Amino acid sequence: MPKWVERSRSAIRQKGLPDMYDDGTPYTGGPRRPFIVEQRLSEQYAAEHTRLFQLARRVGTPPTASHTSALKILGIELPERYVQRFDPHAVHIAVGTPQQRHVLSGAVVHLADETMLAEHSQSATAYFNVVSPELALAQMAAALPMLELVVLGDCMMRRGAQQHTTKARLAEFLTHSSAFTGKRKLIRAVPLMRENTDSSYETRTRIALACRGLGSAEVNVGIASDRTTPWSVDMAYTELMTVLEYDGSFHMTDVRQAEQDKEKRNWLRAHHWEVMEITKARLVDAEARDLLAKDAAAFFAKALDHPVIALPCIPIEQLADTRRIYRAPGLEHPQLDRYFRNTSLYSLLHASQ
């Protein structure tokens, strides 16, 4: 059985529930309230399982879930925006031959390369199949704007039980796959993706700052402390002693999480780290994101003891161009180069071999 199937089935059995809290500390038992994302993933899986089961019973053959149907079965958070003609609420099925389209009424049927579909799909239950995470991401490339594609890639590569693929496996898939709609877009998006994230809004924060010349922060950074284990922070510019923490609704409503956040951030500030606490309101529109970048640049300026000026926002498509570097004045130090370097697809593949 392919490893991606084992991981996916394990995640399904757990209903998408990772064995850790948002800060990376292990969950050791006892009552806890499921995270909102976990609840949504479980609900999406149950609803899509029912629809695919009913479709299979009606057509008499196991369909292969693709696109958003595959994301729901695999336990992957859905994007927020799609291209105009794509319906994320429909049942999406992939077939390898045009003849199969006619026996799958009641679903949106997509024609896929027959060889690719055979190699990258597997039985999910006795009643239906599901495409691999890599193929699901490839299918979604044509259905998503570039930002949503990067966010989806990060969601697929989250740490712990929700990790469905890696950048190396995506590079391998893209190198050996035949042509498909959106392939060029996905090749450009992969260098902007990061592994081991926890939240789609962490990704949105990271990209918002990068598009304004402030580089791409490291994700889930461990900061050594006087504790037994390091503090885990959402994003960090280590050389600039600046931490970015995204606070979703869970952070604001769970008492244990709120207390731990307070303890961690008090310790960081006491040890000369600047901590930016970010909520969804700071990402709601371009004006809010501009102000966020201005505040981050002020923290960088304090660390460097000279001005740092955030640049006007460029489209993410330009940010994805690995031939250019968009860098704010004041951040030209060589030790900061890694925040502005996006590894090309070729380099990713070469490094994995």
Q: Kindly report the pTM of this predicted structure.
A: 0.87
Question: Per-residue b/e over 333-345, b at no fewer than 16 CB within 10 Å?
Answer: eeebeebbebebb
Q: What is the pLDDT along the chain (353 residues), one digit of tens a residue?
A: 344 445 544 544 443 433 333 333 333 333 444 456 778 899 999 999 999 999 999 888 899 999 999 999 999 999 999 998 999 999 999 999 887 776 677 899 999 999 999 999 999 999 999 999 999 999 999 999 999 999 999 999 998 888 999 999 999 999 999 999 999 999 999 999 999 999 999 999 999 999 999 999 999 999 998 888 899 999 999 999 999 999 886 545 567 778 888 999 999 999 999 999 999 999 999 999 999 999 999 999 999 999 999 999 999 999 998 888 999 999 999 999 999 988 766 666 555 54
β-pairing, 92-95 with 108-111? parallel
Question: Per-residue b/e over 17-51, b at no fewer than 16 CB within 10 Å?
Answer: bbebbbbbeeeeeeeeeebebbeebbebbeebbeb
Measured between alpha carbons, how far is 277 from 271 in angstroms, rounded to an integer?
Answer: 17
β-pairing, 242-246 with 274-278? parallel
Could you tell me which residues are beta bridge partners of residue 245? 277
Q: Hey, which bits of 192-300 come out as E strands?
A: 218-223, 231-237, 242-246, 274-278
CA of 122: how far to CAs of 49, 70, 130, 282, 323, in Å?
Answer: 15, 11, 6, 41, 38
Measured between alpha carbons, how far is 349 from 173 in angstroms, rounded to an integer?
Answer: 10
